[in-house]
Amino acid sequence: MQVVKFMKSHKEQEKIQARQERRKLLLKELYENYFENDGLYEMVSVKGELTGKGFEKYSDYQVLATQGFISLVIPKDDQDKRLPRSQYWVELTPKGILYYESL
């Protein structure tokens, strides 16, 4: 069986690098807030931001959560609304702390 490798264009590689940097900056913000606020959850609202740049912000939180770096908790008053949710409580996990400190 032959393995096919896909070549990404220079522009595509730049977009990927920009997304990776954006997630690192987001993780940095969450890390700083976590220790400045004694580990309290942070409320994040993405309501009305689920297109364009807002979607990328939403996607960043989803990627970090999927990797186990943060936990997203849906407030009780938002649980019956449509997906994707508009607000989350965000908590930095021990894995997220260790990952950030290893950068």
Which string of DSSP letters, residue by residue, matches 12-25? HHHHHHHHHHHHHH
Pinpoint the alpha helices (H) of 1-103.
10-36, 52-66, 94-102
Cα separation of 5 and 59, whole Å? 26
Is the pLDDT higher at 53 or at 45? 45
Question: pTM here?
Answer: 0.80
Report pLDDT for 5: 76
- How many Cα atoms occupy the beta-carbon half-sphere of 33 within 13 Å? 18
Whether residue 82 is predicted with pLDDT greater than 90 in this model: the reply is no
Whether residue 79 is predicted with pLDDT greater than 80 in this model: the reply is no
